[in-house]
Amino acid sequence: MRTLFYLPVMAVLSLASCNSSNEQPSDQKKEDIVETRKLEGEALIKKGDYIVTAGGCNDCHTPKIMTPQGPVLDTTRLLSGHPNDSKLPPINPASYIPGNWVSMAPDVTAFVGPWGISYAANLTSDSATGIGAWTKEVFIQTLRTGKHLGMANGRPIMPPMPWNTVNKYNDEDLGAIYAYLKSLPAVPNRVPEYTPPPKPTASK
């Protein structure tokens, strides 16, 4: 008799335990979860801001305003890359010859050297001209490999972008950088395409 009574009781207790574990979280618990995720997201963005600022990313990727004290960051176009309406001065052909000086635009967003002409990319959240459509995985893979969009057959990222030192960051750090960049206001700015160096002319 004791055994027959024990089995139904255990079944009821087991069922009650299952029902308890399947209960939906209360509204308060849901709010706590949302708030925790919000705080975690804010902390990640703050960390990314620190890495980007301390790492000098603005030096090349943010347009400048010329002042009597020299160029200062144009904070209305933070990290939006080389302005597509910028008029570059004439390029000295000698800049393409290895061993000579390299040149840069007055606002330090475009560069000329033996590799050709490279332009600082738009890193804002604009989906058409920035990285707004990039996933975190694509962003990390791009910096890990030094290839555009992280693809094996992608165009190499050109100097002076120091991807081969940035790729030493771990995935958490690169994820923080990505979170910060995605939090920036979108700045529509289609940066010019990379220009290869001119082909050497045949000597007569």
pLDDT of residue 36: 52
pLDDT of residue 30: 54
User: What domain range includes position 112?
Assistant: 66-197
> In a structure prediction context, what are the per-residue pLDDT tens digits for the chain, which is 204 residues long?
454 445 554 554 555 555 544 556 676 565 554 555 665 689 999 999 999 999 999 999 999 998 888 889 999 999 999 999 998 888 888 999 999 999 999 899 999 999 999 999 999 999 999 999 999 999 999 999 999 888 888 899 999 999 999 999 999 999 999 999 999 999 999 999 999 998 876 555
Position 95 in a domain: yes
Q: Is the peptide bond before 68 cis (omega within 30 degrees of 0)?
A: no
Position 33 in a domain: no
pLDDT of residue 136: 94
- What pTM value is reported for the model? 0.78
Position 159 in a domain: yes
Position 179 in a domain: yes
Q: How many structural domains comprise the chain?
A: 1
Label residues 69-105 b or e (16+ Cβ within 10 Å = b). eeeebeeebbbbbbbeeeeeeeeeeebbeeeeeebeb
pLDDT of residue 151: 87
Position 88 in a domain: yes
Instruction: Report d(CA 64, CA 106) in Å as an integer.
Output: 9
Position 19 in a domain: no
Position 105 in a domain: yes
Position 6 in a domain: no
pLDDT of residue 153: 86
